[in-house]
Structure 1
Amino acid sequence: SRQRFSLLLLSGLSSGLDGKWSLFSSDGSVSLPAEVPGCVHSALQQQGHIQDPYFRFNDLSYRWIALNNWTYVTTFNVSAEVRTKQKIHLVFDGVDTVASIWLNGVILGSTDNMFRRYEQSSFSWDWGPSFPTMGLWKGVRLEAFDILFLVFPVCPDSSLSQWAVQVELLVDVVQKINGQITLSIPELDSEQTVETRFLSGKTKNTFILHINTVKLWWPNSHGDQPFYQLSVRGFQDGFLILNTKSKVYFRTVELVQEPVFGSPGLSFYFRINGKPIFLKGSNWIPAHSFQDQISPAVLRNLLQSAADANMNALRVWGGGVYEQDLFYSICDELGIMIWQDFMFACATYPTEDDFIQTVREEVVQQVQRLKSHPSIIIWSGNNENEAALGTNWFSIPAAERPRYVKDYVKLYVNNIREIVQEEDQSRPFLVSSPTNGAESEREGWVAADPYDPHYGDTHFYSYGHDCWDWRSFPRTRFASEYGFQSWPSFSTLQPVSIKEDWSYTSNFSSHRQHHEGGNQQMLQQAALHFNLPNSTDPLSRFTDTLYITQVMQAQCVKTQTEFYRRSQTEIIEGKGHTMGALYWQLNDIWQAPSWSSIEFGGKWKMLHYFAQNFFASVLPVGFEDGDTLLIYAVSDLSQDLKLRVTVYSWTHPDPVCSLKSDPVLVPGGSALAIFKQPVAALLAGCGRCTRLTCLLTFHLEDGGGQRGPTNQHFLCSPKDAQGLQRPNITAEVQQDESGFTVTLHSAAVAAFVWLDVGSVPGRFSSNGFLMVSRNATVSFTAWRPTSVAELSRSLSIRSLADVY
């Protein structure tokens, strides 16, 4: 539970409300300066009272912080100019969480909701530490005014050829005034002036600016992300009283749920600017346990990494936080669509009047703050709470279930949904994820089977089945969560551990794993297709095991994502027409095993390098059905494509044979089978190949050459491959005007070649790849100054055969 803390404010001695405060524990044992925005943990660490909270077992050692009560104190001056204003607000943008606020000995109010601005994030889960934070995690300020304007531009449309820019002004005035509001977008030669009257008190005023031709905002890889500057000016008696600018983007979004030919159920996909878009991406969790320690550089690096892996969408998951404004602004710039959950997850919530009221204020504030961002394409009321009720996660007795369903509808439908639809008509709203969408609504908002693949979106996790068997995955309309765990790299774990921790069976390894049975599940899944590391050197065995978990995770998520991408234009036994793949999860909150593809600190796991390929705009996908090999061409673009298949022996990096198909027109936004042949016939045509001795690579070509990545298909589990040998890869690091390159030389075919430069931050152009040539070159982009000498010293190379 949250502990209470207090805020004491004394006017007259210093200036400013952000910046330096004093912080005291309730028992008087700790007194220290503190930064605002910030939290108690950060203040204690900055002043040397505690070590890095992420080091070893400090999440246990520092539980005393959350069990104490704390008081923030500051003093400030109120200038003569401020005192002349007729209204002064003391604004807290984010208080975490239960607090009372005092000014000069007088209590002003209390707080109980960290997601509201005052005039909760959950913690731990199965991928993070438990640090119940307290403090002023967002800014504190005085607002002094006679007239206060808050401007919220949104862009609904009537058609793609006629746009209406809707501008909402929330106005707080002491006494009614008459004035003028001028809206203009100079680049579009558009301007409109409206005579208006502002009544005393708080009012919401809506103005419309009509536009004809505009450049549209598109998701990543589907077009550009242009914006315009909207100017809003207000005049009273000829005097300028409001002058502000805001970015305006133009795009439409529709969630299409309609009958599907040849299938029961309904479709579930997004149309952006009238075009069906397959959502390619992942799920976002908080980037740090202590929100004040997330820098703009960290946010930009993570989101740029998503865009560079060909993602066009992220789901901001409902168990974290509503992200800061900069997060959404970067997504606007990069063309990353956001599925935005409200912060409710995996629990039943109260519906008493005081809780409903604080939720209603939370929803209004967050929707008003965020609705001008084109990146947000949908609001979703909660994470997994429909599924929790529908499949009875909480063992609710049958007689009590109607009351829980009634409370669920009251909170998410009658309140959150109602407010969102009133505040923002420009994008769709879902009550939950996963959900059957329109079918759930028909069934009273809680479907009998919220995982029905004929409707809505699904979450799917199964660690016992063979992840190379595509038949075990649901052929769903939209996959909004799925994934497998892996461990981060040794260089990420090393700063928060000591030598005795460097074992897969150590207390440290067990403590960092918050998913029950997770460490064993990873090894069991890896052992289905790979030999597990067995080095007699303890450190080598540990680092090899970290590597094999990343190989397993990358291959598992690749197989599942490719299944979803090739299912987008197929209906089989009434299932399919899959139009989204958002794996769990993009980022990490600390140095530990998780489902992420990016480690804490920004280092790409093997999975993220694989995502570059399996989310590519043009992709060949190979799989076996029975003993027949099929290869699909998946394309976001409409073009003629031909397939080239090459067969290699595991024993040496020279092709055994090669096949090429005739060009086939692959429509944009489709997946088309362009190759089908029994494996036995394919191998017989190559003369000296068997399933155990050979493997395949394939790529797509257009008139100008190769399009998209080269993919591969293993004809047997690599642990059964005959001829797999250590490739003895050597490397040479070089630097020229374009940056650093690493040239590799291999004596044999090498699978899952992994380059690692330890603690040097940066990323390679490709990694974890299959090397079927004697020479290969990859580039390295450093995130801080480095040198050829440092990279050469730090570079290590592993391949699959090296860890056996």
Structure 2
Amino acid sequence: MRLRLLLLLALCWAGPSAAARTLSLRGRWRIRSGNGSLELPGDVPGCVHSALFQRRLIQDPYYRFNDLDYRWISLDNWTYSKEFRIPFDISKWQKVNLIFEGVDTVTKVLLNNVTIGKTDNMFRRYSFDVTGLVGDVNSIELHFQSPVLYAAQRSKAHTCYQVPPSCPPLVQKGECHVNFIRKEQCSFSWDWGPSFPTQGIWKDVRIEAYNICHLNYFTFSPIYDNRAQEWNLEIESSFDVVSSKPVYGQVIVALPKLQTQQTHSIDLQPGERIVELFVKINKNIAVETWWPHGHGNQTGYNMTILFKLDGGLSIEKSAKVYFRTVELIEEPIKGSPGLSFYFKINGFPIFLKGSNWIPADSFQDRVTSDLLRLLLQSAVDANMNTLRVWGGGIYERDEFYELCDELGIMVWQDFMFACALYPADQGFVDSVRAEVAYQVRRLKSHPSIIIWSGNNENEAALMMNWYGIHFSDLHTYINDYVTLYVKNIREVVLAGDKTRPFVTSSPTNGAESVAEGWVSHNPYDKHFGDIHFYDYVSDCWNWKIFPKARFASEYGYQSWPSFSTLEKVSSEEDWSYESKFSLHRQHHAHGNDEMLLQAGLHFKLPQSTDPLRSFKDTIYLTQVVQAQCVKTETEFYRRSRSEIVTGEGHTMGALYWQLNDIWQAPSWASLEYGGKWKMLHYFARHFFAPLLPVGFENQDVFFIYGVSDLHSDCKVTLTVRVHAWSSLEPLCSRDTKHLVMKVGEAVLLYREPVPKLLERCGRCTRQSCVVSFHLSAAGRLLSPTNYHFLSSLKEAVGLQKANITAVVSPHGGTFVFDLETSAVAPFVWLDVGSIPGRFSDNGFLMTEKTRAVVFHPWKPTSKRELEQSLQVTSLTDIY
């Protein structure tokens, strides 16, 4: 029998002596509409939308305008029901519980026509005592209430004052009052996602029967004792003792590879009991710590815990234990007002490189293990070490965090509150306290999670007055904010987990916000904490528009997903940039216009008279612009890590918005719905490289900084080349003397006035030339080849239409694409349509005549399929 608990591996009951039986109620249930006119089978875990789709009663909810056409599903009150038999003699068990790991969201639960409880929080685990009520043959029903109607009712019942915002912007085509229901906030819509307020049993459900004593949960935290310089384990176990007498026994904890085994006596009195153990790890054995990706190994140790109790009861658990420390450093910086804001892992300062994670689908039953691994592996493959699990989605499933542990992805974990003010009445607060306690207990054993954050943007929403609150009412809303996030969420987090930091919001000024009474008058202060930054009007090639902040936890630009992704959910009449579909799919006000505005600053817009060709070219151009904008901004943050300029800098994190898509639509994502890499994701693989040269201009001088995330100094040679757009041969090339890249620093490697550079290279003007540069040692390339445009590409002189051919050949499990070009080609894009996989590089500047690129397929494919699907585009092809 298996239980999914908070541990990093599945935890199992040991042998026939365990006094417990479990019956899973996963599988086929019946689903009935509110008036009974529609009844159908549905799977658990699952939701109503998925059941209707699987029975072909509706189309794919993502197809065309179905998010509007299927609003009726969310507005109805559905019932889930199931009849089941108990395959063992239920009368022989002292206690029987019905357990729901996740219900979405508002229900009344009946067993054998008796109401046994209610649910109103998607993020909680519910356990109902059904002892004496359950029989050999049983019926169970969950009467769901429409989450949309429930949220409206709760808002209306909150009569003392409004809690804004009431509704999302009209462009999002969403539902109202989502801040009054403890449910995935973006399910009511967001500026990158649809409105699908689901109903269903979205996680496991089971019957548990036991005698004498039952282990409810088991969690642990590795603790490092700085004074003694040794590791310890704090272990917490929760028991339900149903025996009328105390239960005695022993607990044996063993970590074989660390030569650690300890035995403790326990005394369990009747009732709910917590057992806390403190285990000292053998000091004579060196403990290998867990490191983020790019900084070391993700070493873990197998641990077993055996509870040997009265009555022959034996319970054994196993888990993977990872040892690591995390510190959030907020301290004065020489030459700057304010405080630092950066993380040390195992005592080493680490620049956080990555993105923001949103739910991978509106319907969680469609998120497979393969998809999770694909998306997270893609983050690692792009040299990321961090993902922020954003506060408007869900606390991800155990498997997500297990994969992050395995892959070395640090997780900034928001609690699920976003872009809204929230009520602070007792019922709401009590539900939140139970939610937070459960989630902290479930997740705290994961080394990947390095920080808890109370919410997304709610401090900023409050103090920057996003919702037009009258000044005389501000005190009321500040009190509610402090009540919810400080007096409750923070209190519960600190009681349950002392091993990682907590901040009340993102963005926040951290310690400064605390000093100002938990809300800062300017949550975007660049001298403290983290910032979010978006600017779609200013020129993104101008690095001076970006804030030189301590930590950038959100920033980004939109693009459209590839045509092969859109094609699956659209029809021919939708395939233009101005179509009704294109406007409908854009949930960010003026987003389509902003993309063209940004594109027009440096590129010629597509000029084809063929509507489909123009649409495909525009999609391509939006991806070019997004990639180039985020590249410029991220490189600015990375080169700002070691310097203070007019009191600003010491930037130690860059998490762009956003990693993944929830559906097929324009968004800020670098991975399309399903996982296909956009051009931005290929660029991220370069701009997050551990060793990187970064070029920029200031007052007509060209600078190159070297950025290192390595743990040791590195001797390098910098090569700077200048190419004319009209020639595949470089006009000039210069190698520097040996330079030393210091551990974890960004240092100036090169500077030259642009006029001098152009004069040195001969036949060169800003409009006719481009600069490329890379780091090497002993002839071996150590960094990506980076580049700097000396002018807008719409002003480029000598840029010719490139004829690029490709020869495809299989190589092991991959395919090599040997490219040959007739001219210098900017933003070369290889697209194989819907064939799943990724290239070793894409969207690149091709300055050499030939180049080999490797395609890594995610599913079996053939040379012929790739050749038939391949389309090669470079910038001049769209003119």
TM band (smaller chain)? over 0.9
User: What secondary structure sits across from 1:563 in the alignment?
Assistant: helix
The question of whether the paired residues in 2 share the 8 Å contact of 1:332 and 1:373 is answered with: yes
Match of 1:5 in 2: none
Q: Give per-residue Cα distances to partners, 1:26-51, cap 9 Å, x unaligned.
A: 11221000100000000000111101
1:86 to 83, 90, 94: 94
What are the Cα deviations for residues 645-686 of structure 1, in whole angstroms up to 9, with x where unaligned?
Answer: 011000011110001111121111110001011010011111
> In structure 1, what is the Cα distance between the partners aligned to 2:691 and 2:229?
31
Report the alpha carbon displacement of residue 161 of structure 1 after superposing the two structures with TM: 3.5
SS of match in other structure, 1:264: coil
Give the whole-Å Cα distance in 2 for the aligned partners of 1:235 and 1:95. Answer: 34
Aligned to 2:169: none
CA contact (8 A) 1:156 1:425 kept: no
Residue of structure 2 aligned with 1:604, choices 662, 668, 677: 677
Give 1:334 deviation, angstroms: 0.4
Structure 1, unaligned stretches of length 5 or more? 1-13
SS state of the match for residue 98, structure 2?
A: strand
Partner of 1:254 in structure 2?
Answer: 327
Could you say what the CA RMSD is over the residues aligned between the two structures, in angstroms? 1.1
Give matches, 1:508-547, under 5 Å: 508-547=581-620
Instruction: Tell me how far apart the structure 2 counterparts of residues 738 and 125 of structure 1 sit (CA, whole Å).
Output: 40
Q: 1:173 aligns with which of 230, 236, 241?
A: 241
Write out aligned runs for 1:534-683 (5 A): 534-637=607-710, 638-683=713-758
When structure 1 is superposed on structure 2, of 237-246 and 521-530 the one drifting more is 237-246
Does 2:55 align with 1:21? Answer: no
Of the three residues 49, 55, 68, the one matched with 2:57 is 49
Task: Kindly state the Cα deviation for residue 643 of structure 1 after the two structures are TM-superposed.
Answer: 0.7
> Is the Cα contact below 8 Å between 1:318 and 1:345 reproduced in 2?
yes
1:113 aligns with 121
Q: Is the 8 A contact 2:813 2:856 kept in 1?
A: no
Residue 67 in structure 1 maps to residue 75 in structure 2: yes
**Letter of the aligned partner of 2:492 in structure 1?**
I
The residue that corresponds to 1:102 in the other structure is 110
SS at match of 2:337: strand
* Per-residue CA distance 1:349-393 (angstroms, 9 max, x = gap): 111111111100000100000000000000000000000111111
Residue 153 (structure 1) shift: 1.8
- Confirm or deny: 8 A CA contact 2:418 2:456 kept in the other structure: yes
Aligned length: 791
Structure 2 gap segments, 5+ residues each: 1-21, 128-182
Matches within 5 A, 1:384-403: 384-403=457-476
Letter in 2 for 1:794: S
Aligned partner of 2:219 in structure 1 is: 152
What does residue range 615-764 of structure 1 map to in structure 2 within 5 Å?
615-637=688-710, 638-703=713-778, 705-764=780-839
* Corresponding position of 2:260: 190
> Which letter does structure 2 place at the counterpart of 1:436?
N
Q: CA deviation at 1:83?
A: 3.5
Contact 2:23–2:207 (Cα < 8 Å) also in 1? no
Residue aligned with 1:270, SS: strand
For 2:734 and 2:90, how far apart are their aligned partners in 1? 78
* SS of 1:613 mapped into structure 2: helix
1:3 equivalent in structure 2: none
Deviation per residue, 1:135-160 (Å, 9 max, x gap): 10111101111222121121121139
Give the whole-Å Cα distance in 2 for the aligned partners of 1:674 and 1:26.
69
The code of the aligned residue for 1:687 comes to G
Distance in 2 (alpha carbons) for counterparts of 1:301 and 1:485: 22
The question of whether the paired residues in 1 share the 8 Å contact of 2:62 and 2:569 is answered with yes
Shift in Å, 1:82: 4.2
* Pairing partner for 1:423 from 486, 496, 511: 496
| 1:130 aligned residue | 195
> By how many angstroms is 1:237 displaced?
4.2
Alpha-carbon distance in 1 for matches of 2:804, 2:618: 20
Write the letter of the residue equivalent to 2:280: H
Shift in Å, 1:205: 1.3
CA displacement 1:714-764 (0-9 Å, x = unmatched) = 000011000011111111111132521111110110000000001111110
Confirm or deny: 8 A CA contact 2:23 2:206 kept in the other structure. no
Q: CA deviation at 1:704?
A: 5.3
Q: Distance in 2 between matches of 1:774 and 1:702?
A: 24
CA contact (8 A) 1:15 1:77 kept: no
- Per the TM alignment, residue 79 of structure 1 is displaced from its structure 2 partner at its CA by 3.5
Quote the offset at 1:640 in angstroms: 1.4
Secondary structure of the corresponding residue to residue 60 of structure 1 = helix
Answer yes or no: is the 8 Å Cα contact 1:15–1:75 preserved in 2.
no
CA distance in 2, matches of 1:503, 1:289: 26
User: Match for residue 359 of structure 1?
Assistant: 432
Conserved in 1, the CA contact under 8 Å of 2:237 and 2:275? yes
Query: Structure 1: how far apart are the matches of 2:432 and 2:461?
Result: 21
User: 2: distance between equivalents of 1:666 and 1:239?
Assistant: 63
Whether 1:162 aligns to 2:230 is yes
Write the distance in 2 (CA, Å) between the matches of 1:89 and 1:367.
Answer: 23
- Asked if 1 retains the 8 angstrom alpha-carbon contact of 2:508 and 2:524, the reply is yes
Aligned partners of 2:670 and 2:680: how far apart in 1?
5
Q: Percent same amino acid at aligned positions?
A: 58
Q: Contact 2:826–2:874 at 8 Å: present in 1 too?
A: yes
Give the counterpart letter for 1:499 in structure 2: E
Q: Secondary structure at the match of 2:195?
A: coil
Query: Residue 432 in 1 paired to residue 502 in 2?
Result: no
The residue type paired with residue 384 of structure 1 is E
When structure 1 is superposed on structure 2, of 603-612 and 84-93 the one drifting more is 84-93
Q: Which residue matches 1:9?
A: none
Normalised TM-score (structure 1)? 0.97
**Amino acid in the other structure paired with 1:728:** N
Separation in structure 2 between the aligned mates of residue 655 and residue 200 of structure 1, nearest angstrom = 82
Normalized against structure 2, the TM-score is what? Answer: 0.89
Please name the residue that 1:143 is paired with: 208
Aligned counterparts of 1:17 and 1:522: Cα–Cα separation in 2: 49
CA offset at residue 15 of structure 1?
7.2
The equivalent of 2:275 in structure 1 is 205
State the distance in 2 between where 1:700 and 1:196 align: 61
More deviation, 602-611/730-739:
730-739
On the 8 A contact 1:367/1:420 being kept in 2, the answer is yes
Residue 402 of structure 1 aligns to which amino acid in structure 2? Answer: H
CA contact (8 A) 1:340 1:380 kept: yes
- State the partner residue of 1:794: 869
Could you tell which deviates more after superposition, 442-451 or 776-785? 776-785
In 2, Cα distance between the equivalents of 1:704 and 1:226?
A: 33
Task: Quote how far apart the aligned CAs of 1:394 are.
Answer: 1.1
SS at 1:410 equivalent = helix
Q: Tell me if the contact between 1:153 and 1:246 (Cα under 8 Å) persists in the aligned partners.
A: no
Match of 2:520 among 447, 471, 490: 447
Q: Deviations over 1:475-524 (max 9, x none)?
A: 00000000000000000000100110000000000000000000000000
2:783 alignment partner AA:
G
> For 2:520 and 2:560, how far apart are their aligned partners in 1?
36
Conserved? CA contact 1:439–1:447, under 8 Å: yes
* Partner Cα distance (2:512, 2:304) in 1: 43
- Deviation, 1:81, is 4.2
